[in-house]
Amino acid sequence: MKIIIRAGLILLFCLVLKTGANAQNKIDETNLITRLSGLNNLTADEAGKYFTDQGYTLLSKQSIPQATYTMDLYKYKLKNSYLLTVITGSVAGSGIITYNEDDYTQALKIIKDMGFTPGEATSPESGKTLFAKGDLRFIIQKKTTGDKTFYVMMLNDLLKIAKLAGLKK
């Protein structure tokens, strides 16, 4: 009987390790854009595990009811804060809040190199710039409070959002 219990526990432990490894393997850490893109392919649970495995803490979760669905907004915090927009359990958009200007400069260069172009919603007076490539939208907003400047950068897939919201099949 002890052998069966041990074998069951070992199998369960291996399954837990494999599940964690799958979430880790889905995220390409090459740069911020590939990381956000990888997060957009996860479920909310997989993304949560990814962040907690790296030492992040779930800082907040807010549900926003829409006409045909509910959107959940998650915020994970360690040094930087990561934001997730979740619809029907799947990550539909992800982003980061950082105080590091180098992160901002690098992300801006990468999205331009990847062929994203400034969209019509570019609004320099608000500090918000929208870049587009196909169904993808990358939004950068520079904000200053007091003497601190921070950057909010979000990657959204409009087609995926529409599908998850039941607006497009």
Q: Which tens digits make up the pLDDT trace of 100-156? A: 999 999 998 999 999 999 876 555 566 678 899 999 999 999 888 899 999 999 999
- For residues 85-98, one letter each, b for 16 or more C-beta atoms within 10 angstroms of the residue's C-beta and e for the rest, the string is bbbeebbbbbbbbb
- Model confidence, pTM: 0.77
Q: Give dist(CA 61, CA 53) in Å, integer.
A: 18
Q: Region 27-42: what's the mean pLDDT? A: 91
Three-state DSSP class for 80?
coil
pLDDT at residue 28 in the model: 87
Residue 1 pLDDT more than 50?
A: no
Across the chain, mean pLDDT equals 82
pLDDT at residue 90 in the model: 95
Q: Give dist(CA 45, CA 112) in Å, integer.
A: 31
pLDDT at residue 12 in the model: 34
Note whether 92 and 166 are within 8 A (CB): no
Residue 1 makes CB contacts below 8 A (sequence gap 6+) with none
User: Which amino acid, 79?
Assistant: K
